[in-house]
A and B are shown apart, each in its own frame.
Chain A
């Protein structure tokens, strides 16, 4: 299940919705991403995305995770619009029979989402706003998965 929305989500509710009625799930790994404020002076941010392409790319990332690991169910919720420090941006959870598959697939989804899902961040910085540049480090993290499997 993949959802793109402006509203907040409840991680507990999302977790409980994984693999309804199944008894073969041995573990669920999840990740919740937040807007980090504080030291580097980031205030609010506005997340823009490409409706249509976002869903298409997330579907394809999810298919890739299912191809690589024994995934029984997965959920991705990604927010867009204006977000404040401390707010949740993204939820990723993977259910599998064994924890190794759940952990690996969850980390893979988060890394690939950063470099393949068409989202752009506009940060408020003391009165002006600035588009956040992509980081080479994220490409390196995502590329690690190109070699595995």
Chain B
């Protein structure tokens, strides 16, 4: 499974993308976050505030209860700030 990180999640974790092979008991986006947190202090810091992290599964927004099933690409990022002005 390919995992992508954007904005400050990328800078805290120290990489923009990686291939991971989580154990079979990791079935949802939320469980994947918990599993990733155990991979090091950068991950723990990036995912410390769950309310500040958004996820996408195969390029569509996903909530923590979303099943990973046959997902090929999961992305984590802060709330988006596109468009114009502030």
Contacts and interface: CB of A to CB of B under 8 A. Distances in A.
Interface of A: 31, 33-34, 36, 40, 47-50, 52-53, 56-57, 78, 89-90, 110, 113-122, 131-135
Given A48-B6, A132-B81, 16 more contacts: A33-B85, A36-B85, A50-B77, A53-B60, A53-B75, A56-B59, A89-B83, A90-B82, A114-B81, A115-B82, A118-B6, A120-B78, A122-B7, A131-B8, A133-B79, A134-B80
Contact of B79 (A49, A78, A113, A134): A134
Interface string B1-42: 000101110000000000000000000000000000000000
B86 A119 contact: no
Contacts, number: 81
B8 A113 contact: no
